[in-house]
Amino acid sequence: MISPSARRVAEANLPTRYGAFEMFVYDTPERKEHVALTLGAIGDGDPALVRVHSECLTGDVFGSNRCDCGEQLADSLRFLQGHGRGVLLYLRQEGRGIGLANKISAYALQEQGLDTVEANLALGLPEDMRDYRVAAEMLHDLGVRQARLLTNNPAKIEGLERHGVEVVERVPIRVPPNPSNLAYLRTKREKMGHLLQGVMPLETAQDGSA
């Protein structure tokens, strides 16, 4: 690995509605403050449950139905608490890395009929600019070398493994589709390789039967 770009700069206990976590803040040369919420002895050498969540202001904070981020975040924190041991990384890479303004501009294009990938391309942006190097560095700092990764996204597995964190198991994450996010979830499955088959009944959900 090249010299680490993420530096641990603060930590404290963080009691939440989901339970009590320890919170670590990491700083990077780009002045992005990334967060790790941990539970239990994750650095003891056994594979840790890991969720890598990318910031989504509209989904995480406002409860937007355009995506499934807010529900995935809440479900992940609940799931970690249920296990009593694990870590959630909260990466400040809004809109898959394109930033908030670009993400909202892409929403406007989607209102004209483009899907989430086509909208990014129309704005001259890649479909996904996320980088998992900083996530791997944070896990290394926390003593996690092997992960049981909570994800439906193969790119996250590759991203972590490329940077030295072995993914020993993929734990699927389940989010029920709603009428607003159905097209988004389908695009994630069909164009971005997300492993949603068997996880959510996208076809039956279309007519409201699921």
Closest CB 69 distance from Zn ion, rounded Å: 3
- When asked if residue 95 is in the footprint of Zn ion (CB under 5 A), the reply is no
| Active-site residue list | 128, 130
Closest CB 180 distance from Zn ion, rounded Å: 12
Query: How far apart are alpha carbons 139 and 38 in whole angstroms?
Result: 10
* C-alpha distances in Å from residue 183, one per residue of 8, 65, 187, 202, 204: 38, 11, 6, 9, 13
Closer Cβ to Zn ion, 39 or 56, answer by number: 56
Closer Cβ to Zn ion, 69 or 135, answer by number: 69
Each residue 113-152 as x (binds Zn ion by CB under 5 A) or -, in order, gives: ----------------------------------------
Closest CB 56 distance from Zn ion, rounded Å: 3
Closest CA relative to residue 155, chosen from 130, 174, 177: 130
- When asked if residue 175 is in the footprint of Zn ion (CB under 5 A), the reply is no
Q: Which of 69, 150, 160, 200 binds Zn ion (CB under 5 A)?
A: 69
Closest CB 94 distance from Zn ion, rounded Å: 9
- For residues 5-64, which are near Zn ion according to CB under 5 A? 56, 59
Tokens (6 digits) for 203: 């076809």
Tokens (6 digits) for 177: 């589709």
- When asked if residue 67 is in the footprint of Zn ion (CB under 5 A), the reply is yes
Q: Residue numbers of the site for Zn ion (CB under 5 A)?
A: 56, 59, 67, 69
